[in-house]
Structure 1
Amino acid sequence: MTTLQAMFDVRGKSVIVTGGASGIGRAYAEVMADNGARVCILDINADGLNAAVADMKGDGGDVWGQVVDLSDRAAVALAFDAVASRNGRIDVVFANAGIDAGPGFLSTDGGRNAEGAIDVLDDCHWDRVIEVNLTSVYTTVKHSARHMKATGGGRIIVTSSIAAQINEAIVGTPYMPAKAGVDHFVRQMAMELGAFAILVNCISPGPFMTNIAGGRLKIPEDRKAFEAQSLIGRIGHTEDIKGLALYLASPCSSYVTGSQIVIDGGAMHRIK
């Protein structure tokens, strides 16, 4: 009989988490480390990375970090090679790094927000959001596949968003096409990589209390707007996402690939 422990066993797995110094990425790193995986966090924020690694090591985790800008393709390749050299392989990758796209064309009270209008959107801002939220996923998956093919398979888990599946006027416009591209890319990669025993899936969060919105959810009016979308009346906490992360990284999800798993407190139903 298969035990619960065996179904969710990630002990000894070599895991990479991009953007793992805070927020949802840190939750991924914590749940992997707490359950015996060997975790490497890649993040551009050196201070946050050092603090996260110190905290997890203090809790007994096998965790280390590398300061990497995920938009630097050569640096990403070198970072993956370093993990494979240290651990002998790469088993699980959480492609999580992402940035906020700023305010949308409507404010939370329904009024027009001139700063978020398409005709004044800064081209460099558009490029940066697409570069980090979509192109870095391509780079991460590329190097994950390169190493996982060599060792017989693995898991790639990408952080998308419910923004990939809906239109949202109070979120910056570049965010939606970036995440929609992520969803489609994940399905494409699941088709290509399944033959190599590499499973590729999305976690699609709704509003979570993280740093990605630049503290926006700490503003009462903005927080209320997002809380009103939830069917259970609250924004997600990073602890809420750990069970899903462990599920997708473990043997329990061995027949799941090409999926977008929504974790949003039911917000999509209310938005629709």
Structure 2
Amino acid sequence: MGALERMFDVRGLCVIVTGGASGIGRAYAEIMAERGARVTIFDLDPDGLQRTVEAIRAAGGDVEGEVVDVGDRPAMAAAFDRVAERVGAIDVVFANAGIDAGPGFMAPDGTRNPAGAIDTLPYEHWDKVIEINLTSVYTTIKNAARHMKPKGRGRIIVTSSIASLINESIVGTPYMPAKAGVNHLVRQMAMELGAYGILVNAILPGPFITNIAGGRLRNPEDRRAFEAMSLIGRIGDPEDIKGLALYLASPASSYVTGSQIVIDGGALLRMT
């Protein structure tokens, strides 16, 4: 094995991906399995999970699936324990599960959207977005840490968003504070867990074609609005994120922790 291959070698590592049945999470699972890792996908969608597991196995990957609600704390703890019992260690965790916050207070055509206004936004909607997009990341990191600390090593990679760094009018209001909280949690956990050999980083995607938008980016009007943000004229595809995921999971990033790495086709530059 050459130096470059050793640098990106993840063979035999035990990897957990939350929300891995589709989109960016599926891309994480695919690249890890393709490179020889032993992957377990947590997802709430049993049908999507089965399809993804079968596809990765058909390509020769070592993958298992667990139907888990990341908002269910006892279920998450039990699922982590089952994976550890089966494989003996947990080396890499992608805290990826998340949900869309719906349309914001402005529509893509520049008109006001009353349904997204703060005074009409249901409390239940706020609570659900914060629970899944922020609190479940805490739950995932907590379970990863209790398995990694005794081993003295590990990687935790969290999917955040460029929405954590800016304010967006066409994205539901709860999404920005949830993702900003994720960034801060990543930095805090990097400070706490570095002494145990655990590296914690965040990936900040811009607009990507995934299920999290509930199909919004397949709508021509919405798609054009997000394409206009990109400096290269297109929305991201989950394939675009595989290289960064492999980098953060592999020895190539052994001196990287507490970072928030943007992958957005330059959208953030245009927005700011």
Q: Same fold (TM over 0.5)?
A: yes
Q: Which residue of 1 aligns with 2:184?
A: 184
Structure 1 residue 196: deviation in Å?
A: 0.2
- How far residue 151 of structure 1 moved from its aligned partner, in angstroms, is 1.2
How far apart, in 2, do the equivalents of 1:46 and 1:2 lie? 40
> Corresponding residue for 1:23?
23
The residue type equivalent to 1:151 in the other structure is: K
Matched, 1:203 2:203: yes
Letter paired with 2:156: I
Counterpart for residue 75 of structure 2: 75
Query: In structure 1, what residue type is equivalent to 2:5?
Result: Q
Rounded to whole Å, the distance in 2 between the matches of 1:150 and 1:109 is 53
1:219 aligns with 2:185: no
The C-alpha deviation readout for 1:192-233, integer Å capped at 9, x for no partner, is 000000000000000000011000001111000000000000
TM-score normalised by the chain length of structure 2:
0.99
Quote the Cα distance in structure 2 between the aligned partners of 1:2 and 1:185: 36
Across the aligned residues of Structure 1 and Structure 2, the Cα RMSD in angstroms comes to 0.8
Can you give the 5+ residue segments of structure 1 that lack an aligned partner in the other structure?
Answer: none
Report how many aligned residue pairs link the two structures: 272
Q: Which runs of 5+ in 2 are unaligned?
A: none
Q: Deviations over 1:83-123 (max 9, x none)?
A: 10011000000000000000000000111001100000011
Give the CA deviation at 1:150. Answer: 1.3
CA shift for structure 1 position 152: 1.5
Once residues 237 and 21 of structure 1 are traced to their aligned partners in structure 2, the CA distance between those partners, rounded to angstroms, is 15
1:49-60 alignment to 2 at 5 Å? 49-60=49-60
Question: Which residue does the alignment assign to 1:175?
Answer: 175
Whole-Å Cα distance in 2 between the matches of residues 56 and 82 of structure 1? 21
Q: 1:37-59 deviations in whole A, cap 9, x for unaligned?
A: 00000000000001100000111
Amino acid at match of 1:11: R
Shift of 1:2: 6.2
In the alignment, the residues of structure 1 paired with residue 74 and residue 134 of structure 2 have an alpha-carbon distance, to the nearest angstrom, of 17
Matches within 5 A, 1:121-200: 121-200=121-200
Equivalent residue of 2:119, what SS? helix
> Whole-Å Cα distance in 2 between the matches of residues 2 and 135 of structure 1?
41
Q: Which amino acid is 1:209 matched to?
A: I
Aligned partner of residue 120 in structure 1, secondary structure: coil
Q: Which residue number in structure 2 is paired with residue 85 of structure 1? A: 85
What stretches of structure 1 move > 2 A for 4+ residues in a row?
none
* Aligned-partner Cα distance in 2 for 1:189–1:20: 22
> Deviations along 1:129-149, whole A, 9 cap, x unmatched?
000000000000000000000
2:39 is matched with which residue? Answer: 39
Q: What code does the residue aligned with 2:148 have?
A: M
Within 2, Cα distance between the matches of 1:2 and 1:47?
Answer: 40
- Give distance in 2, aligned partners of 1:271 and 1:236: 16
Counterpart-to-counterpart distance in 1, 2:22 and 2:254: 28
Please give the secondary structure, in 2, of the residue aligned with 1:146.
Answer: helix
CA distance in 1, matches of 2:59, 2:81: 27
Using the alignment, how far apart are the partners of 2:63 and 2:135 within structure 1? 26
- How many Å separate the matches in 2 of 1:101 and 1:2? 45
Q: Percent identity?
A: 73
Query: What letter matches 1:155 in structure 2?
Result: R
* SS of the residue 2:65 aligns to: strand
Partner of 1:104: 104
Q: Equivalent residue for 2:8?
A: 8
Write the distance in 2 (CA, Å) between the matches of 1:227 and 1:80. Answer: 38
In 1, distance between residues paired with 2:117 and 2:22? 30
Equivalent in the alignment of 1:95: 95
